[in-house]
Amino acid sequence: MKRFRSVASRLLSAVTFVVLLALIVKNQPMSLSYTGLTLLLGSAIPIVFATLAQMMFVSIGDLDLSIGPFVSLSAAIGAIVLPHSPWLAILLYLLAIGVYALCGALIELRRLSSIVVMLGMSFVWLGCALLLVPSPGGEAPQFLVDLMSWRTPLIPLPVLIALLGALIGYVIFNVTVFGTIVRGLGGNPKVIQRSGHSALAIRTGVYALAGVFGIVAGLLMLGQTTSADANQASSFTLISIASVILGGGEFVGGKVFALGSVFGALTMTLATSFLNFYEVSSDWQVALQGIILIVALSLRTVIYPSGKLA
């Protein structure tokens, strides 16, 4: 029974997704077609990778309050620098990953709060993005536009990328030794340190990998929008946190679920389409998205009255 409740809680995001999709299909049956799913879930593509970045943080009990501005900055570099100076763009991306890794090292060495540090970094990323694109502009490289407009055979591109994201997350946390050590650091850091592993190296690696996912999210978003805006991914921070928690993750660290987190990202995206299909005023949409999330998380609490997963 305990294991059943654990699985049920982790798959809650998938159940919520199916319910929302069924309600949309009831209103518009063609939503389940290839084109319909592409339109419904298209905006979820960059959110999936922003969620993977956030999942890296949650796995060790941290939070990244800067992932939204960082995704915007990544898109800005792609729109302004990448088309004309590819090597400079690559250098800037490596520098950004290095800054993420440095933040992880400082947090570990100085025992700082990740919330405070990454909140401060959100202003740094936003400032850099504004320097590159003080107003919306730039141009997406053609290969990104072609990728995002690619009509994949049989399976719509958003579904395919969501499956890829879930597979990447699963391999990291359930197949690699690195993922096992990361989950151990999040669940019981003293045991990991006693076993001879460096908490500094692990946290630095986690932060660096989160930076890679953030860059991928920014480039994919640029391929969709074809231009950059310093604030275009500002909502990704809260959406990514909600997606990980809805997907079965816990702030205590060491407890994340890749498939559930990806379904969480799809659910948060589908919630907007759901409200649009039922002609809910845009003034109410943000509030109702929050209500949908609260209801889903409340069901998780019902499954686990103690609020803890197995």
List pLDDT tens digits, range 182-195: 888 887 777 777 78
Check whether 272 has a pLDDT greater than 80: no
Q: From CA 98, how far away is CA 104, in angstroms rounded?
A: 10
State the pLDDT confidence band at 307, using cuts at 50, 70 and 90: very low
Q: pLDDT, tens digit, for every residue of 196-231?
A: 788 899 999 999 999 999 999 999 999 999 999 999
Q: From CA 76, how far away is CA 60, in angstroms rounded?
A: 29
CB 13 within 8 A of CB 247: yes
Average per-residue pLDDT in the chain?
87
Its pTM stands at: 0.90
Comparing C-alpha atoms, which of 121, 79, 120, 114 is closest to residue 225?
79
Comparing C-alpha atoms, which of 219, 216, 207 is closest to residue 100?
207
